[in-house]
Amino acid sequence: MDTHGVGIAGWGAAGQLMAAALGHSERFRLAGVADVDPAAREHAAAETGCRVHPDVASLAASGDVDVVYVATPTATHLEAVRAVAAQGKHVISEKPLATTLTDARLAVEAAERAGVVLLVGATHSYNAPVRVLRRLVEDGTLGPLLSVCANCHTDWRRRPRSAADLDAAQGNGLVLRQGAHQIDVLRYVCGGLTESVTGTTFGGADGTELGFSAQLAFPGGVHASAYYVGTGGFDSRLQTWGVGELGTFDVAATPETSRFFVLPGEGAVSPVFGTLAATFADGGAWVTPTGALVFAGDDVTEVGVEDEASGWQALLAELAGALDGHPAVHTGRWGLATLEVALALHESARTGRRVGLHHQVPTQPDLQA
């Protein structure tokens, strides 16, 4: 099978993770890297041996590049999507798609006008165990879905952060950067069509977000809760068996914690973004790094993961499907809808009001199902 060349715009952590994923792909190969920073370009050239570019337009113009993964700062996504689409190339944008709904809509329209695929990723709804949960919703064996609860305690705010990283106006801050994951997971599991959002944020003395709580309403009275704290106190990885966002066992057991938490495991597991529990009319499910524990009456069964363990591999599989004409979940319009929810959370936190939504799109059937 012919391979497609993927160019990476932005040689940060996300770009480097994508490069690693491309190294394991049979369908895609790394075809170039762009970064505005000469040192980053030099590093990328040395690491990958591939051609480097000073900007996304030059990368997109390269004959070797069929798809551009845009992992530059959020505020530059619209310009990057336009530049890539103008070359008739496909785009994967990092989440969030843009800093404003208007910019996100312009990005979607640019891709649609050019007839190219636009995906928004990589988010944690690509994780195989989350897709196990979605299949439980779709197959209806536990009855109708009632509620989903996502909780995450991390040290996101303890890690070095620039002022821009914390600025919602630049498409950043805890809600847009980390909330985007929880919102995406909850929309994916609950069917995508969020009806309304209420939410609160809580923060430090400097006014920036240290945590948030959001309640999402879906058709049929389905309710979803997202709670996130990024201050680095209690760590959710203790509840997810030491497994975090990268699908690695990265919390060590101490004498104190080992009495209370099963830590750590071994072997191949999926990335885990906090705890995730779903309640159905006839049971419940709890996501693990290897699938889900399914509770029905007094019975507990373990449903294992059958497809890609890595969200990055799942993103590339979705891209391959989209290039073959299959409907994708994480389209530009999906990313626009997730951004709408995150911005509505901000609005609700400010006004104390439930905020209605108007740009939601449904979860498409999963190709890997």
Give the β-pairing of 275-280 and 145-153.
antiparallel
For the CB of residue 66, give the shortest distance to its own copies in the complex, in Å: 42
Q: Which of 9, 78, 185, 285 binds its own copies (CB under 8 A)?
A: 285
Sheet strands side by side (includes 283-288): 299-304, 291-296, 283-288, 275-280, 145-153, 222-229, 209-218, 196-203, 355-356
| Minimum distance from residue 74 beta carbon to its own copies (Å) | 26
**What are the C-alpha distances in Å from 175 to residues 20, 72, 211, 212?**
27, 18, 8, 7
User: In angstroms, how far is CA 26 from the centroid of its own chain?
Assistant: 23
Q: How many CA atoms lie within 13 A of 325 on its CB side?
A: 0
Q: Which is nearer to its own copies, 87 or 279 (CB)?
A: 279
Q: Name the one range near its own copies by CB under 8 A: 33-41, 89-97, 133-141, 272-280.
A: 272-280
Task: Report the residue number, 146 or 367, with the smaller CB distance to its own copies.
Answer: 146
Of 107 and 217, nearer to its own copies (C-beta) is: 217
Judged by CB under 8 A, how many residues of this single chain contact its own copies?
A: 57
Rounded to 5°, angle at Cα 165 from 17 and 228: 80
Which residues lie below 8 Å from residue 198, measured CB to CB, with a gap of 6+?
Answer: 214, 215, 348, 353, 354, 355
In this complex, which beta carbon is closest to its own copies, that of residue 9 or of residue 285? 285
Q: Going residue by residue from 217 to 246, which x/- string records binding to its own copies, judged by CB under 8 A?
A: x---xxx-x-x-x-xxxxx--xx-x-----
What residues line the site for its own copies (CB under 8 A)? 142, 146-147, 149, 151, 153, 196, 198, 200, 202-204, 210-211, 213, 215, 217, 221-223, 225, 227, 229, 231-235, 238-239, 241, 254, 256-257, 259-262, 277-281, 283-286, 288, 293, 295-296, 300-302, 352-354
